[in-house]
Amino acid sequence: MMDEARREAPQPGSTPERILAAAVRRFGADGFGVGLREIGADAGVSAALVIRHYGSKDGLRRACDEHVLTEVRRVKMESVGATDTRSLLEQLAHIEEFAPLTGYVIASLIDGGELARDLIEHMIADAVDYMAEGERTGKIKPSRDPEARARYLTYSGLGGLLLQIRLAQVDGPRDPVAMLRTYMEKSMIPSLELYTEGIFTDSRILDAVLEAGYGHQQNGAIPAPHDVATDPPNETSAPPGQHAR
């Protein structure tokens, strides 16, 4: 599905691109219950013309998925591939431009279903690639399990954003710009602090967990816990029923 949408990517400034941009904004603000007439009106075309270009509402949504994935991947690659921080600061200065993408992803999470799962799995696969690029440029440390790290970061990032939106749910359409601004204000510094400096002062906990076999299990099976042994018995300890001298 995604590959088909990629082959038919609309040209910049074309009618299909206007429809696609309008759909991403509308879906992100109003959810996927919005009709093709509203999307067409935003793009300055009829609902019939939307169907002519994308076949159906599902076809339009698949094209939106591919567009959002492409844009997220491009932005992430630019961030991890840059040799200085100017690219990141420029992105932060124009954060409103990314709000429709964020709104669309959140709408997908709220809606659920096969398309949402497909979108998130593609985001995780892309995260593996751009984090590998970050490793290549020296910005990101290597991982024992790159796919698991990418999955955790994707889940935790989107989950945190979704939770904040759910807790602050208001009646009416969502405002992607406002919710992205609020999320960034509350989470950017602590998340960067965690990614850059970590929490634990040493690796004892990680080493203990790795020694216990976690991270090497098959098919997601969690290893059985080892018996927790106390310190070795005192040499002066006597057998049960007798007192030590």
pLDDT at 160: 84
The CA distances from residue 48 to 30, 56, 160, 175, in Å, are 21, 10, 38, 28
pLDDT at 9: 60
Could you tell me the two tokens for 96? 């409103």
**Spatial contact of 25 and 100, defined as CB atoms under 8 Å apart:** yes
For residues 32 and 35, give the distance between their C-alpha atoms in angstroms, rounded to a whole number. 8
Using only the alpha carbons of the chain, give its radius of gyration.
25
pTM: 0.67
pLDDT digits (tens, 9 = 90+) for 137-157: 888 999 999 999 999 999 998
- Listed by start position, the domains of the chain span 2-211
Say which amino acid occupies 26. Answer: R
CATH tag, 2-211: 1.10.357.10
Rank 5-9, 108-112, 191-195, 224-228 by mean pLDDT and report only the highest: 191-195
pLDDT at 82: 58
User: Is 60 exceeded by the pLDDT of residue 219?
Assistant: no
pLDDT digits (tens, 9 = 90+) for 109-119: 888 888 788 88
Could you tell me the two tokens for 178? 């406002």
User: Is 50 exceeded by the pLDDT of residue 6?
Assistant: no
Spatial CB neighbours of 77, under 8 Å, sequence gap ≥ 6: 129, 130, 133
